Structure 1
Amino acid sequence: MTNDSLTYRDAGVDIDAGTDLIERIKPFAAATHRTGVLAGLGGFGGLFALPTGFSEPVLVAGTDGVGTKLKLALQLNRHDSIGIDLVAMCANDVLVTGAKPLFFLDYYATGRLDVEVATTVIAGIAAGCQQAGCALLGGETAEMPGMYSGDEYDLAGFCVGIVEKSALLTPDRVQSTDVLIAIAASGPHSNGYSLIRKILAVSGADLAQPCGETSLGDALIAPTRIYAQALLPLMRDGLIHAAAHITGGGITDNLPRVLPSHCQAVIQRSSWSLPPVFAWLQQQGRISDAELLRTFNCGAGMLLCVANTDVDVVCAQLAQAGEQAWVIGRLQPASDAAPQVIYCA
């Protein structure tokens, strides 16, 4: 037994580093300030006043992480956009209910706090919050020696939004005559990376090799697209009956989550070309079409159910907002026993 006095630093936790990190990230959080924020970082809890003007306000909360895409970020030593992924995975889920994101909190866990890396990650989180129009209200940094090896870290977060109860997007708004509009993804977003990493290992691919107009590494690390600024005006005007965030499970499993049981989706595969990164993954992994469509977004990051009379105006407004959108299919009546998504050529 040692007679020396032990410190928290001896156990692997650097309190000073944590304090330094808080000071560094305060400007990032301040840049996301919006009406409703009542206090800055440093308190025991984030304070946010509910917006006025709602008759029956409903709070919507979503939580998520970025999965094993973190492994790729570590491999590439690219930490500037993984925080955008974190916000996107939460904010997009809140958005599809019709809710406007209000605030976001993050949880950053690591075995040894690297202040430079953590600052870069949280700067990305703040950038994602700005894209989503929400405030970075607070978070937690946990240094846990023995839980993570080397420079590994993990991320999780949650987002809270608000919507008028009468404006909630629920399956009963959907009509069997609706048209399906897809909005382009920026890549695999933050889903399927365990399979992606398996394909990289089996193929021995060089992440610097070309993939379409960029490198394979750049195509895989591209941050998840955040759709709030483009969709909220359409939702406010009542032009969207339902929206599905295409995450793990692909179109096959995510679209049915917003459809009533009497509706079936017919997806026209010829309506879009598989982006190069997905074509490469399918070829290198010898992935079947069904598996590909149930694992990845395949280039369609968000699907909308829209009345057939509103298709042109919705597509025009999405284009004006900088989004690539196209008609990907339609709905039709179906019995309870029928599959809710079918694919046709």
Structure 2
Amino acid sequence: MECAAKGRGTRCVGPAVRRCPRCEIVAYCSLSHQISHWSDHKEECERLEEQIRDSDMMNKFPFTFCEEATVQILEKKQSRCTFLSRRSLHHIGLWSCECSCGFSHIGHNFPVLIKYWNLSSTLAPCGDPISPLSKQLSCWEEYYAWRSISLASPAALLLQWPLTIYHALQLNASRLQSADGSKDIIIHYLGPDKELFQLAVFGELRALLPHNNVHIEFVGPAIPEYRDGEKININSYLHCDDIDCKCKLSSGTSSNTVVTLRLHKGFYHDRFRDLMKDSFPHLIIAPNAGVAAFPTWMETIELIHQLKTPAVFTDFCEEAAHLAARCLSSITCCQLALPIQLNPFRQPMAVEDTALYLPCYSNCFLFGI
């Protein structure tokens, strides 16, 4: 963790081991750096103190592995690598980039669309739901019960992506219904990163949105040049490991819903004209956006504001969401249409080595314009 006063004139004298005694979230290399930074930190200190008081809520999940994936990782009693290794998932298929060392094992020859969960049928949603949704899903426990999978399943670590899209659509349902009466749902998905190695999990939208065809345009600088323009149709669910499961049969699913993905390298404001030749979005979503951290967001936010299309952003912790919301309001001169709120479908495993002593989770808080 870096000293909060780094770059303010004098050089840091050592590691940042001295925490602010009030919020205990930011840290400093020395007393002098702590004192010099107080004029900046004073405004945020009370807010951070309140956030840490509410952090227990962020760590609350229904899974049998909850403490192992949250508290123990946050307290550095174990790592994401060990969590995956205990389940024989470390550096395996879709799970390859779920730990800090994962990306080093992924090269150009990594499969475009991995079709296996590497989990048994009791742990993976590998076919059609037993029954259609009777109500809107509001938490992981409801989703797992509907899909008839055990709460010991780590599948939620990957299902965070389609479930966050589903939740964002539900939160904007009133705005989307008036957009048009088409069966198609067009989503512009900004800034994909490790999702590019987990694309097949978006096939779960076939179960979540059975009456729609879902078209997702992925746009971001992390997309490799050689994949620019690539189109992928997902017509089935990911397979489980059970040899005799019906998910292995071509007729294993009855859903006619198709999820179509297309990749575009570059920033949204640079690629928007190309995208608009084919589709106008019903929803724009930017997972783990880091709006306050990257100046390149300014042009994109100005463009989204002009479109008047519902746009949902997520970030790793409440403080990052707060700073992003301040940027959004400054650029658009408007209040948030969707206030900052905890995402019930955030990834249930803590992020390691964060910039603040705050619990952080992928897709943790969401907000929108």
TM bucket by the smaller chain?
under 0.3
Q: Report the structure, 1 or 2, having the larger strand content.
A: 1
TM-score by length of 1: 0.22
RCO higher in structure (CA 8 A, sep ≥6): 1
TM-score by length of 2: 0.21
